[in-house]
Structure 1
Amino acid sequence: MGRSPFHRRLSDHDADALLGQLTDLGANLPLGGGPDPAFRARLRETLLSETLAAPGPATAAPPARRRGPLRWLSPVLAAGLATAMTLSTIVTYRAVPGDMLYPLKRAAEGAVMELNPDKAGGALDAASERAEELAALLDAGGGGPHVGATLQEMEESTRSAIERMDRAVPRDQSKIDDFVAEQHEKVDPMLEQLNDVDQQQANDYLDYIDGLRLPNG
């Protein structure tokens, strides 16, 4: 069913023109004169109200965005990536000499040390980490040449830290004493697991760090 022509929007001018035409038409009819002013006013009001109330052209609603069957893929991938990165970080942190990820661990350690303003403290942490790696190597029943190399790097890191601390004023002796005690706790239990050559190297290291203590330390 078509829409009434009155449903189009009329302006005030259009309504007045239409009323004028109706008046002229009524004047030419044999029934008498045009509509009275009250009727004209009501008709004008009705025409305008009809045009204002008429609904505009229907606007098609935008098609609903269809989500594919793989809409869950992005959050799953994000969660998987986060898990993989976490596991990779843990595995890398636990790597020991000889492991495939060990060079990555050392590279990350070096980057952290470069950013650390406390270079001496970073070097002591590196020496402590070498002791942890040494214990892991021995617990795994292996080691080989990695044991001696780890002992050597542990001593080099310690000497580097002490040289840096000697340039500081005043020297932080309490930090050194704490480090020496912690290293003894880590290295002493390993001595019996070392071969003669590595054991001598470990004892030489312990003698060196004992000399870092004050006489009453």
Structure 2
Amino acid sequence: MGWWRPSRRAGGRSAARTRGVAARVGGLRSLLGGGPRPEFRERLRADLMRAHAAERAAGRHAAGKHAAPPAAAPARPRPRRSLLVRLCPLLVFCVLLAGMFGAGVRIYHSVPGEALYPLKRLAESTVLDLAYDDEELAKRQMVAARQRAAETASLVGASAPDRGRLIAQTLDDMETTTRAALSRVARPGRTSGEAREFAREQRNLVEPLLPKLDRENRDKANQYLSYIESFTGSGR
């Protein structure tokens, strides 16, 4: 039963081959220097760090690209203006309109000697200049003559120190305007109904003033009445 035992010669040869392989591996290790060189390790480490940094940068870019945009801030409601503030332009316009209307009324009713009277005469002169024919100009001059008669009546009751001078000037203006108006609507031998009506109105305005006028202005008024008397008849 000793056939299975290994021979000592065969075992010796196997052990010798094992020691030879180990010796060759040890020689190769000595040739390689015992591991990777330091330069190789540094390059490998640098390459790994660069790759890691590139991966992180790519990840942040992708995250920023797909990130939702920031929500817009909610719009603040505009404060509502009060009713008084909204009506302020309308109130200012109404005040200006009322002021202009009041100034116009005062100018229209102003009399010689008042500060607004020159504005009245300026407006009247503009109206006369805008007449488009002689007939229209005569009508507007009759209106101006009526204004002079009304102004004379207002001055008679005034207590201004230069009342006499103002009345004389107003009577002169009234006569000049009256003559200009009647010369455009009256023809030799014929007087229009409009001219007769105007002459009667002027006579009714001026005659009651005679007792209240001084001598000089009374003479002016009588001279005016004598002129218009020829236009108050029944027509010729």
Q: Same fold (TM over 0.5)?
A: yes
Which residue type is aligned with residue 93 of structure 1? Y
Correspondence list, 1:34-49, <5 A: none
Runs of 4+ in 1 over 3 A off after TM superposition: 57-62, 68-72, 169-172, 213-217
Q: Does 1:110 align with 2:125?
A: yes
Alignment partner of 1:94 out of 102, 105, 109: 109
Alignment partner of 1:178 out of 197, 203, 214: 197
Which residue type is aligned with residue 109 of structure 1? E
Q: State the percentage of identical aligned residues.
A: 34
Q: CA deviation at 1:76?
A: 1.9
1:128 maps to 146
| Rounded Cα–Cα distance in structure 2 between residues aligned with 1:112 and 1:65 | 51
Q: Secondary structure at the match of 1:163?
A: helix
Q: Is the 8 A contact 1:138 1:193 kept in 2?
A: yes
* Structure 1: stretches of 5+ with no match in the other structure: 1-56
User: Quick one: structure 1 residues 181 and 65, their matched pair in 2 at CA, closer, same or farther if it must change by over 3 Å?
Assistant: same
Correspondence list, 1:158-197, <5 A: 158-166=178-186, 173-197=192-216
- Number of equivalenced pairs: 160
Q: Is the 8 A contact 1:165 1:171 kept in 2?
A: no
Of the two, which has the highest radius of gyration?
A: 2
Query: Over residues 83-114 of structure 1, what are the superposed CA-to-partner deviations in whole Å (9 max), with x where a residue is unaligned?
Result: 10010000000000011000100111111222
* Structure 2: stretches of 5+ with no match in the other structure: 1-70
Correspondence list, 1:9-88, <5 A: 60=74, 63-67=77-81, 70-88=85-103
Which residue type is aligned with residue 78 of structure 2? A
Query: Over residues 101-154 of structure 1, what are the superposed CA-to-partner deviations in whole Å (9 max), with x where a residue is unaligned?
Result: 001001111112222330011111111110000001112234220100000000
Query: Over residues 18-66 of structure 1, what are the superposed CA-to-partner deviations in whole Å (9 max), with x where a residue is unaligned?
Result: xxxxxxxxxxxxxxxxxxxxxxxxxxxxxxxxxxxxxxx9995563254
User: Quick one: structure 1 residues 216 and 170, their matched pair in 2 at CA, closer, same or farther if it must change by over 3 Å?
Assistant: closer
Q: Is the 8 A contact 2:141 2:180 kept in 1?
A: yes
Q: CA deviation at 1:172?
A: 5.5
Which residue type is aligned with residue 171 of structure 2? L
Q: CA deviation at 1:162?
A: 1.7
1:137 maps to 155
Q: CA deviation at 1:74?
A: 1.6
Q: Secondary structure at the match of 1:144?
A: helix
Q: CA deviation at 1:171?
A: 6.1
CA RMSD of aligned residues (A): 2.7
| Higher normalized helix content (fraction of residues) | 2
Q: Is the 8 A contact 2:186 2:192 kept in 1?
A: no
Query: Over residues 180-210 of structure 1, what are the superposed CA-to-partner deviations in whole Å (9 max), with x where a residue is unaligned?
Result: 1111111111111100000010000000011
TM-score normalized with structure 2 length: 0.61
Q: Is the 8 A contact 2:191 2:235 kept in 1?
A: no
